[in-house]
Structure 1
Amino acid sequence: MSALITALLSLLPPTSLFSSYTLTSLNALFFYLTWLILVLSHSAFKISVLAVLLIRLVCFWIPALGMTAFDLLLPDLAGSCKFHPSSVRMLPSTIPWLLLRAGINDAIGISLHALAVYTRPGLFPVSVTLPLLPTMAYDLLLSQLVSSAAYYYLHRFTHYALPALHEQHHSHPPTPLLARAQNPADYILLSLLPTYLVPLLRRSHILTFLLILGTQCVVDVVRFSGYQGLWGPAGGLSSRTEAHYYNRGTCNFGIWGILDYVHGTSPSLEPPLLRGSKHQRKPSLKEQWEKELPKVPMPVASSKPRNAQPRPRVLRKVRKPETDSGSASEGVVTSRRRAV
Structure 2
Amino acid sequence: MSLPYSTSMNLLFFYMTWATLVLSHPPLQVEIVGTAVVRLLFYLFPSMIFLLFDVLLPSAAVAIKAQGEVGLPTGSKRGRPGLREAMVVTWALLNLVLSILLQGMIEYVLTKGLGMRSALKVSLKLPYPWDMAKDLLGGFISREILTYFIHRYTLHTSGSSVARYHWSWYHSLNAPYPLTAHYDHPIAYLLLKFLPTYGPAALFRYHMLTYIIYLSLISLEETFAYSGYKALPTSVLIGGIARRADMHLLSGGDGNYGTWGIMDWVFGTSVGDSVEDDLQDVLDEEEVEKIRKVLESKTKAKGVKRRTKRRVNS
Kept in 2, the 8 Å contact 1:81–1:227? The answer is: yes
Kept in 2, the 8 Å contact 1:179–1:220? The answer is: yes
Q: Does 1:132 align with 2:122?
A: no
- Bigger helix share: 2
Partner of 1:123: 119
Matched residues in 1 for 2:232 and 2:192: separation?
26
Q: Which has the larger radius of gyration?
A: 1
Q: What letter matches 1:208 in structure 2?
A: T
| 1:14-29 pair list within 5 angstroms | 21-29=4-12
TM-score by length of 1: 0.70
Poorly superposed stretches of 4+, deviation over 3 Å:
267-272
Matched residues in 1 for 2:132 and 2:144: separation?
18
1:42 corresponds, among 16, 25, 42, to: 25
Partner of 1:144: 140
Kept in 1, the 8 Å contact 2:142–2:196? The answer is: yes
Cα deviation for residue 123 of structure 1 reads 2.0
Cα deviation for residue 27 of structure 1 reads 1.2
Kept in 2, the 8 Å contact 1:176–1:220? The answer is: no
Kept in 1, the 8 Å contact 2:247–2:272? The answer is: no
Q: What letter matches 1:159 in structure 2?
A: H
Q: What letter matches 1:100 in structure 2?
A: T
| 1:1-340 pair list within 5 angstroms | 21-84=4-67, 85-88=69-72, 90=74, 92-93=81-82, 94-121=84-111, 122-157=118-153, 158-161=155-158, 162=160, 163-167=163-167, 168-172=169-173, 173-233=175-235, 234-268=238-272
CA 1:265 to 1:140, structure 2 compared with 1: closer, same or farther past 3 Å? same
Q: How many residue pairs were aligned? A: 253
Name stretches of at least 5 consecutive residues in structure 1 with no aligned partner.
1-19, 273-340
CA 1:33 to 1:60, structure 2 compared with 1: closer, same or farther past 3 Å? same
Cα deviation for residue 28 of structure 1 reads 0.9
Kept in 1, the 8 Å contact 2:261–2:275? The answer is: no
- The sequence identity of aligned pairs, in percent, is 33
TM-score by length of 2: 0.76
User: Could you say what the CA RMSD is over the residues aligned between the two structures, in angstroms?
Assistant: 1.9
Matched residues in 1 for 2:212 and 2:233: separation?
23
Kept in 2, the 8 Å contact 1:261–1:269? The answer is: no
Kept in 1, the 8 Å contact 2:244–2:273? The answer is: no
| Bigger relative contact order, structure 1 or 2 (CA pairs below 8 A, ≥6 apart) | 2
Partner of 1:283: none
Name stretches of at least 5 consecutive residues in structure 2 with no aligned partner.
76-80, 112-117, 277-314
CA 1:270 to 1:180, structure 2 compared with 1: closer, same or farther past 3 Å? closer
